[in-house]
Amino acid sequence: MEKTLFITTAIDYTNSAPHIGHAYEKVLADVIARYHRLKGEKVFFLTGVDQHGQKVQQSAAKEGVPPVQFVKDITQKFVDLWGKLDVRYDRWAATTDPLHKECVQGILQRLWDEKQIYKDKQAGYYSVRQEQFLTDKELGPDGEFGPEWGQVEFREEENYYFKLGQYKDWLLGYLKEHSDCVTPSFRQTELINAVEKISGDLCISRPKLRLDWGIELPFDKDFVNYVWFDALTNYISFIGFDPTRSPISDQSSTFREKWPALHVIGKDIMIPAHGIYWPIMLHALGFPDDQMPTLLVHGWWNISGAKMSKSLGNVVDPDVLIEKYGAEALRYYLMRAIVTGKDADFSEGNLVVYYEAHLANSIGNLVNRSLNMVHRYVAGRLCFPANDVVLGQFEGRDLTTKMAREFVNELARLSAEAMNGVGSDFKMASSNRFVVSSYLDKIVEISLHGNGLVEAAAPCKLAKSG
């Protein structure tokens, strides 16, 4: 069975419109997918939207519309933006899809039957913004819950819990034995440190009395599933996972040819969701270690060192930038100006600089003048002679042959370095995979030397002299 490279992004929460961070993540995944398609490999790219939850229900109520209409309107904004940015995904995942609902309920029922889910009462402080109970470890140095938790109130209620804590040792062992399951590597170190602090189990439900916008628990109609078994499960539900089949070898060929996946996610959702909850959920369902997904964890776009936030009013709208500069210019800037895995400051001024200096004056100039020369001097046909043959044409001419020779040699070196170094995953020899910005550097460097060679060799003079 031929394997397919399965690439996913985090599904976007439909409580607000998309911003530049969403655009970066999708373009990054799209670039990786395009690269592997160009190599002739089979690729399946999944992205979508997370539509359930208390915040969505509250926002819909404020707008005076049903939740289903609220998420439909927000979802369309994401769909439209990916179209403008030419993000070529193969499947759209919406958590209100009946296929997804059936899979989620099947997983919950199976874990309930296997006694990996239980009901219990919890009393404590609850973050309305983050929709979770807080513990002492969330307290700040002053003994108070910080502003990141928003409104905090005391609650007591019954809910259902997944036995997360019993898998702590397994996850620690897995992470220490598989050093390449998280990129960049320093994120894996952060994840290991977080796993060591696991204590207790995971609440996976909300009473319908306060939240009815969600997937109903199959074993208790008075509760809906909370985000974890809903949003995270999209990665397997939309490629045909059947929760009634175990082991994994009994899954359909459609599922097995794609799984495991490369998850492209932001650093803010690695811990605990994708780095702790998700692998433990998969392990509990019988996924072996060699069927765990790989995480590509990217950083944030900041404004003057501060995280983009609606409350701060510093969110960048990608639609506005596309309208001003075009989708290609924005795609290039997003890939070039940030090192995968690290944070970067967004600057429209830098976008303009990259657009003019790189795309127009360097790459665009070389492409334009090269195409013109090909049609003008060689009837629109290209051939690829050896370097010594090319250099031989320069001897005895009225031009700086030494300079031309240096440009040709440097072009050959740069081109070989770029093509040989890219490997399977844009991996630079010195560090981690998926360092797309480093290869864009190479392209710009090659274009600069190409333009230099044109100036040094002066093809128009060569053509006139025969």
Which residue, among 322, 296, 24, has the nearest Cα to 185 in the 3D structure? Answer: 296
pLDDT given for residue 136 in this prediction:
81
159-217 pLDDT, tens digit each = 999 999 999 999 999 999 999 899 999 999 999 999 999 988 999 999 999 899 999 99
Which residue, among 194, 11, 190, 202, has the nearest Cα to 93 in the 3D structure? Answer: 11
Length of the chain, in residues:
466
Q: Which residues of 237-275 are buried (b: 16+ CB within 10 A; e: fewer)?
A: bbbbbebeeeebeebeeebbbbbbbbbbbbbebbbbbbb
- Tokens representing 37 are 């398609």
CA of 426: how far to CAs of 42, 94, 341, 434, in Å? 17, 30, 13, 5
State yes or no: pLDDT of 135 exceeds 70: yes
Q: Is residue 432 part of a domain?
A: yes
- Amino acid residing at 416: A
State yes or no: pLDDT of 431 exceeds 60: no
Cβ pair 4, 43 in contact under 8 A: yes
Q: Is residue 3 part of a domain?
A: no
Q: How confident is the model at residue 422 (pLDDT cuts 50, 70, 90)?
A: low
Cβ pair 208, 223 in contact under 8 A: yes
- Amino acid residing at 66: P
Considering the entire predicted model, what is its pTM? 0.89
Mean pLDDT of 26-42: 93
Mean pLDDT of 235-240: 98
Spatial separation of the C-alpha atoms in residues 4 and 1, rounded to whole Å? 9
Cα angle: 401, vertex 406, 410; to 5 degrees: 150
Q: Which domain holds residue 424?
A: 347-464
pLDDT given for residue 396 in this prediction:
47
Q: Is residue 310 part of a domain?
A: no
Q: How confident is the model at residue 327 (pLDDT cuts 50, 70, 90)?
A: very high
Strands 5-9 and 306-307: unpaired
Q: Is residue 100 part of a domain?
A: no
Spatial separation of the C-alpha atoms in residues 195 and 150, rounded to whole Å? 25
Q: Is residue 379 part of a domain?
A: yes
Q: What is the mean pLDDT of the chain?
A: 89
pLDDT given for residue 426 in this prediction:
56
Q: Is residue 46 part of a domain?
A: no
Work out the percent of the chain whose per-residue pLDDT is above 70: 91
Spatial separation of the C-alpha atoms in residues 34 and 8, rounded to whole Å? 13
Mean pLDDT of 341-353: 94
Q: Is residue 387 part of a domain?
A: yes
Q: How confident is the model at residue 398 (pLDDT cuts 50, 70, 90)?
A: very low
State yes or no: pLDDT of 277 exceeds 90: yes
Spatial separation of the C-alpha atoms in residues 46 and 58, rounded to whole Å? 28
CA of 22: how far to CAs of 54, 222, 346, in Å? 21, 34, 13
pLDDT given for residue 23 in this prediction:
97
Q: Is residue 161 part of a domain?
A: no
Spatial separation of the C-alpha atoms in residues 308 and 346, rounded to whole Å? 10
State yes or no: pLDDT of 322 exceeds 90: yes
Phi then psi for 241, rounded to 5 degrees?
-65, 135
- Quick one: CA dihedral 242, 244, 249, 253, positive or negative? negative
Three-class SS of the chain: CCCCEEEEECCEECCCCCCHHHHHHHHHHHHHHHHHHHCCCCEEEEEEEECCCHHHHHHHHHHCCCHHHHHHHHHHHHHHHHHHCCCCCCEEEECCCHHHHHHHHHHHHHHHHCCCEEEEEEEEEEECCCCEECCHHHECCCCCECHHHCCEEEEEEEEEEECCHHHHHHHHHHHHHCCCCEECHHHHHHHHHHHCCCCCCEECEEECCCCCCCCEECCEEEEEECHHHHHCCHHHHCCCCCCCCCCHHHCCHHHHCCCCEEEEEEHHHHHHHHHHHHHHHHHHCCCCHHHCCEEEEECCEEECCEECCCCCCCCCCHHHHHHHHCHHHHHHHHHHCCCCCCCEECCHHHHHHHHHHHHHHHHHHHHHHHHHHHHHHCCCCCCCCCHHHHHHCCCCCCCCHHHHHHHHHHHHHHHHHHHHHCCCCCCCCCCCCCCHHHHHHHHHHHHHHHHHHHHHHCHHHHHHCC
66-75 pLDDT, tens digit each = 999 999 999 9
pLDDT given for residue 429 in this prediction:
39
Domains in the chain, number: 1
Q: How confident is the model at residue 423 (pLDDT cuts 50, 70, 90)?
A: low
